[in-house]
Amino acid sequence: MAMSAADLTPIVAEGRNCWRVARARRARMIVDAADYYALLARLMADAKERILLIGWDFDPRIALTPDADGSGEALGHYMLRLAKNCPDRDIDILRWNFGGLKQLAMPSIVTMILRWKVTRSISFRLDSAHPVGCSHHQKVAVFDDHLAVCGGIDVGARRWDTRAHADADPHRTTPDGKPYMPWHDSTMILAGPVGEALAELGNERWQRATNKPLRDLSGAGEPWPEGLEPDFRDVDVAISRTRAEYDGYPEIREIEQLYLDLIAGAKRFIYFENQYFTCGKIAAAIAERLNEDDPPEFVLVMPKQADGWLEQMAMDASRAKLVREIAKAKHGDRLRIYVPHTEGGDPIYVHAKTAIVDDRLIRVGSANLNNRSMGLDSECDVTIDAALPANRDVGPTIRRLRESLIAEHLGVEPDDVARAFDRTGSLIETIEALRGDGRSLEWLDLIAPGPLDEYIAENELLDPTSPDAMFESLTERGLRKSWHRGKAWMKRHRPFK
């Protein structure tokens, strides 16, 4: 039986697991990049004074609204057109430096950047304001300093897809004409004071990366896209960050703390969509909960394997080791990891970073369930917690969003998910009852890592817990040490019993 919001203790808390709690006049979750890119084109066109795009990736060759064969007006050309139509509007683009430097080997991208350079209103900069080995991983867009998008969707190649994830969709084509696998992702658009807070965060990042502040704005601009129905109105939203210590700025680990607090506070279930599961501290916290007499369920929807050979060696082996360790808990069967598949049986790559707790809290952002997102890379997540006084009526909306996500993966209607959950009271039993052939969720097949993979995973060589950990001796680091830290934390800090 669901508890009323009035009976709940807030999980989000300023100064503990979030930077700021601010009001969103309107907010909406956007699922998959086809809808987001189409919306992004509108948001940029509607912006009056500034478009600020901050991200891990940015590819000017992609089409935001591809035509039937996957081509269309390239983003770079679209931005030149925006600059010509409104030369007094700033277009500021900040992307991670290492990924950006790799793109400089592509003549078409270099040519576009040079065209931007001679366009007064466009500024394209690379972000190197982080320790060696770290990345700027946030995906934030801000329009006129009061409307913002925060989540997991990069404005890059191989990201566009619809919620149908159709087999062999001709729209799903790279700029060089090659097809790519189905891709699932999520983000959130927010307006009001929380948008202003994200603008402040973006402005600070720009100044750190470029040593120059953005100009002050008058406050003009559209408050919300016309015709876009919000999921939430007048709710308080928490903003959580990860930032490594660098150049006089202290370390921030709000995202790690929030993940631990979500696990500690869950009563019935946590539904995760995430690209990775390699953080020993988080895994151990889940195992500790599963050693309780009546623990919550943990459902993770993830990709079959990481994207790229190096990532597979680092991430897939760690995931296998952690899941096998969690399975030893008293109720280890209350953890299930599923992989979504298309109608034709091909795996869908899950890049989303979404968490839903007990239908009382929803979290969307850039942070993965890996060590890098806890203390190495810069991250930003937003969370709506029904226990906050302004949010007492949002539980049904969060439930509807969860049902929609699960229905998308199972190839069924959201009402089917709702009825099965009402009948069983169990997230796992709901999914198991609705799983089938074709478009559906399948259990993750854990492949035992080879000797090299196991060595890399055990010593966290490619997924360190902090910048300093990259230079520690192997005796001072490792997956087991992270696991023990997570167990110890959960035993000391069950604050939401």
Euclidean distance between CA atoms 149 and 132, whole angstroms: 28
For residues 94-103, give the mean pLDDT: 76
Q: Alpha carbon 72 to chain centroid distance?
A: 27
Q: What is the pLDDT of residue 453?
A: 52
Q: Two tokens at 2? A: 């669901």
DSSP reduced 3-state for 380: strand
pLDDT tens string 17-30: 999 999 999 999 99
Residue of 478 and 144 predicted with greater confidence: 144
Phi (first) and psi of residue 465, to 5 degrees: -85, -15
Phi (first) and psi of residue 184, to 5 degrees: -115, 135
**Are 220 and 226 spatial neighbours (Cβ–Cβ below 8 Å)?**
no
- DSSP per-residue letters across 87-134: TTSEEEEEEEHHHHHHHTT-HHHHHHHHHHHTSTTEEEEEE--S-TT-
For residues 29-34, give the mean pLDDT: 98
Q: Two tokens at 411? A: 């190839």
For residues 199-217, give the mean pLDDT: 94
**Are 453 and 317 spatial neighbours (Cβ–Cβ below 8 Å)?**
yes
Instruction: Kindly indicate the confidence band of residue 464, based on its pLDDT and cuts at 50, 70 and 90.
Output: low
Indicate the DSSP class of residue 426: -
| Apex 382 CA angle, 493 and 266, nearest 5 | 35
For residues 77-94, give the mean pLDDT: 96
For residues 94-102, give the mean pLDDT: 76
Phi (first) and psi of residue 182, to 5 degrees: -55, 145
Q: What is the pLDDT of residue 476?
A: 54
| Apex 99 CA angle, 98 and 105, nearest 5 | 100
Q: Two tokens at 142? A: 């801000």
DSSP reduced 3-state for 248: coil
Q: What is the pLDDT of residue 2?
A: 54
H-only helix segments in 365-450: 371-375, 395-410, 414-424, 427-434
Q: Are strands 183-184 and 349-350 parallel, antiparallel or unpaired?
A: parallel
Q: What is the pLDDT of residue 101?
A: 67
**Are 179 and 173 spatial neighbours (Cβ–Cβ below 8 Å)?**
yes
pLDDT of 367 higher than 50:
yes
Closest CA to 419 of 23, 429, 135, 388: 429
| Apex 228 CA angle, 147 and 81, nearest 5 | 65
Q: Are strands 379-385 and 232-243 parallel, antiparallel or unpaired?
A: antiparallel
Euclidean distance between CA atoms 277 and 300, whole angstroms: 9
List of domains in the chain: 20-232 (3.30.870.10), 236-492 (3.30.870.10)
Cβ-based neighbours of 288, under 8 Å, separated by 6 or more: 329, 486, 487, 490, 491
Taken in order 484, 487, 488, 489, the sign of the CA dihedral is positive
DSSP reduced 3-state for 171: coil
Percent of the chain exceeding pLDDT 90 equals: 76
Q: Round the average pLDDT of the chain to a whole number and report it.
A: 91
Residue 274 carries which side chain, given as an amino acid letter? Answer: N
Q: What is the pLDDT of residue 496?
A: 47
Radius of gyration of the chain (CA): 22
Residue 7: how many CB atoms within 10 A of its CB?
8
- DSSP per-residue letters across 305-334: S-SSHHHIIIIIHHHHHHHHHHTTSTTGGG
Euclidean distance between CA atoms 468 and 480, whole angstroms: 18
Q: Two tokens at 36? A: 């987001």
